[in-house]
Amino acid sequence: MKTLFQKIADREIPAKIVFEDDQCFAIEDINPQAPVHILVIPKRVIARLGNAEADDAALLGHLLVSAATIARERGIDAGGFRTVINSGRDAGETVPHLHVHLLGGRALAWPPG
């Protein structure tokens, strides 16, 4: 069974795709928690960070570099931005398909909730 993100990648469900390459794509979050809230999603499914293996290292690094590229494109790199990966229910994971939250465009509080 496909995850929500696989259906978006396959264009079965509409979403505002703001970035895409051969390894990942990025969409605007439907429930943004900051002025810029984008999800960077690998095309290859890794259920969660807790399931990642050594062979996933290059893809995980690519997701972070892609997030930085998007931050520059959105003009939030100078003021700062945050990347978040939720892993598991207690962390707030709602889709079993690893993804990076890119948040910025305002001062972000610490510690996060």
Asked whether the beta carbons of 35 and 84 are under 8 A apart, the reply is no
In the predicted model, is pLDDT for residue 113 greater than 70?
Answer: no
Hey, is 31 helix, strand or coil? coil
In the predicted model, is pLDDT for residue 112 greater than 90?
Answer: no
Binning pLDDT at 50, 70 and 90, where does residue 111 land? confident
Q: φ, ψ for residue 57 (rounded to 5)?
A: -60, -45
DSSP state, 16? -
Give the tokens for residue 49.
Answer: 């960070």
CA 22 – CA 30 distance, rounded (Å): 23
Per domain, the residue ranges of the chain are 4-104
Question: 22-42 pLDDT, tens per residue?
Answer: 999 999 999 999 999 999 999
Give the tokens for residue 93.
Answer: 């994971």
Give catalytic status of residue 62 as yes or no.
Answer: no
Question: 47-72 pLDDT, tens per residue?
Answer: 999 999 999 999 999 999 999 999 99
CA distances (Å), origin 6, targets 11, 73, 83, 110, 113: 9, 25, 21, 32, 28
Q: Which of 37, 97, 99, 101 is catalytic?
A: 99
At the topology level, CATH places domain 4-104 in HIT family, subunit A (3.30.428)
Residue whose structure tokens are 């003021």: 79
